[in-house]
């Protein structure tokens, strides 16, 4: 649903039941979800046992980036950050993702970009893959089975040194050399329950198989940082390789050169009247960044995650910007909105970047580079989880 006022995002009714402070009637509704969470736990355990036996391995080094909860953990920006850093170390790196949001899905794998040219659109590749192709100078492929995407890239473009898998912590059917787990310090793990009774894709104990945990602390300091870190479960906060990262705005991008790379410009929004347009699982961080850039947020248009924009949506967006306001969206949404005839200089996307402490970044990259010398035995890593991790208890 679209909203015309800059109010906080409307969470789904289900997500609203994942909070700790529920009214009595909400607790009764939540209790009805607990049996389904139990069934989901059983399915996870069966799946883990199956793929422990049937797992396949790819030829290049495989690094997985993912999380334990639904949405809001900056997986895709971190995937781009990591792939770019590995390229700077002289590795031939590709990115492979699931391709969420694509409406045409007839191929086992699709080559989205060869590093220089965009070879597939949103319908074939999904919004996130096309978004990555707009800023990453390496190959990108999408495939339901990630190994199909890796093999397609190597068939077309030659051998790779490393592959970064976007949103693949649960994709245990493909062996990986390094498993990276992302956490949002502000959101934590919610109520700690498995879906649909909570936001957890896997039990908390699944974090044991991560070679490193990267916590997005939102760039907060002092008391705000302490409050944010309070949402991180102790078992994760005590991980032996706990690293910090911050997601922050880097620039505005314009679709003026949409055939290849977008035009990038400084992110100056100070005092400008802005209507925010987003189709995200959780847009609160997006709104917060706009306010921190001192934009005058006069309107919000909020759509479901991976929303496919229609002509009616375009007309609503144009209407919301009447009066001289500028439209600011996300890069993931811009790949779908740029096909509409917006007025020149009226539509921009906020480009984000991941920043890590230099020491943490060095530790991370050195761990991955070292893993090349010991395939499928990353330093400090844990074996793939068996039944215990897949069926571990809920809660913090």
pLDDT tens for 7-35 read: 333 446 788 889 888 999 999 999 999 99
Average pLDDT of span 227-252: 88
Q: What is the pLDDT of residues 67-111, one digit of tens each?
A: 999 877 889 999 999 999 999 999 999 999 999 878 777 789 999
Supply the DSSP symbol for 193: P
Average pLDDT of span 367-395: 55
| Torsion angle in degrees (nearest 10) through CA of 118, 337, 301, 306 | -40
Average pLDDT of span 278-282: 88
Give pLDDT, residue 374.
Answer: 74
Helix (H) or strand (E) holding 113: strand 109-114
pLDDT above 60 (res 222): no
- Mean pLDDT computed over every residue of the chain: 87
* Packing angle of the helix pair 358-371, 75-88 (nearest 10 deg): 70
Q: Would strands 93-97 and 178-184 be described as parallel, antiparallel, or unpaired?
A: unpaired
Grade residue 255 by pLDDT with cuts at 50, 70 and 90: confident
Give pLDDT, residue 205.
Answer: 93
Q: What is the pLDDT of residues 131-151, one digit of tens each?
A: 999 999 999 999 999 999 999
Average pLDDT of span 226-253: 87
Pairwise CA distance, residues 216 & 309, whole Å: 30
Hey, what are 69's tokens?
């909860």
Pairwise CA distance, residues 385 & 49, whole Å: 9
Q: Which residue has the tokens 């391709």?
A: 99
Q: Which residue has the tokens 């080559």?
A: 111
Grade residue 224 by pLDDT with cuts at 50, 70 and 90: low
Grade residue 367 by pLDDT with cuts at 50, 70 and 90: very high
Grade residue 282 by pLDDT with cuts at 50, 70 and 90: confident
Burial 240-264 (b: 16+ CB within 10 A, else e): ebbbbbbbebbbbbbbeebeeebee
Average pLDDT of span 295-324: 94
Other beta carbons within 10 angstroms of residue 154's beta carbon come to: 18
Give pLDDT, residue 10.
Answer: 41
Contacts of 27 (CB under 8 A, 6+ apart): none
pLDDT above 70 (res 347): yes
Supply the DSSP symbol for 260: S
Give pLDDT, residue 5.
Answer: 35
pLDDT above 80 (res 37): yes
């Amino acid at each position: 649903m679209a909203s015309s006022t800059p109010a906080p995002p409307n969470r789904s009714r289900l997500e609203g039941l994942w909070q700790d402070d529920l009214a009595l009637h909400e607790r009764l509704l939540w209790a009805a979800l607990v049996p389904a969470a139990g069934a989901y736990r059983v399915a996870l355990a069966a799946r883990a046992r199956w793929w422990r036996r049937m797992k396949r391995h790819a030829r290049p080094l495989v690094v997985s980036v993912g999380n334990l909860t639904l949405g809001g953990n900056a997986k895709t920006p971190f995937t781009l950050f990591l792939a770019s850093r590995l390229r700077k170390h002289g590795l031939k790196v590709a990115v492979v993702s699931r391709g969420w949001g694509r409406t045409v899905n007839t191929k086992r794998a699709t080559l989205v970009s060869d590093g220089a040219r965009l070879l597939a659109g949103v319908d074939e590749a999904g919004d996130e893959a096309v978004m990555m192709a707009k800023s990453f100078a390496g190959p990108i492929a999408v495939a339901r089975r990630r190994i199909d995407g890796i093999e397609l890239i190597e068939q077309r473009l030659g051998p790779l040194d490393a592959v970064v898998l976007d949103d693949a912590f649960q994709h245990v059917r493909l062996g990986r050399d390094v498993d990276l787990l992302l956490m949002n310090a502000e959101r934590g793990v919610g109520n700690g329950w498995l879906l649909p009774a909570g936001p957890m894709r896997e039990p908390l104990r699944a974090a044991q198989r991560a070679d490193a945990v990267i916590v997005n602390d939102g760039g907060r300091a002092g008391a705000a940082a302490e409050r944010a870190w309070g949402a991180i479960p102790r078992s994760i906060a005590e991980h032996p390789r706990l690293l910090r990262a911050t997601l922050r705005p880097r620039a505005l991008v314009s679709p003026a050169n949409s055939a290849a790379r977008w035009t990038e410009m400084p992110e100056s929004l100070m005092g400008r009247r802005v209507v925010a347009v987003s189709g995200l699982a959780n847009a609160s961080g997006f709104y917060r960044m706009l306010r921190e850039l001192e934009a005058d947020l006069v309107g919000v248009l909020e759509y479901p995650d991976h929303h496919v924009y229609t002509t009616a949506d375009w007309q609503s967006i144009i209407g919301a910007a009447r009066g001289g306001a500028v439209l600011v969206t996300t890069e993931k949404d811009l790949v779908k909105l740029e096909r509409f005839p917006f007025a020149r200089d009226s539509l921009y996307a906020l480009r984000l970047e991941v920043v890590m402490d230099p020491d943490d970044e060095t530790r991370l990259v050195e761990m991955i580079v070292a893993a090349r010398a010991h395939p499928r035995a990353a330093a400090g890593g844990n074996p793939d989880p068996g039944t215990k991790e897949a069926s571990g208890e809920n809660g913090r």
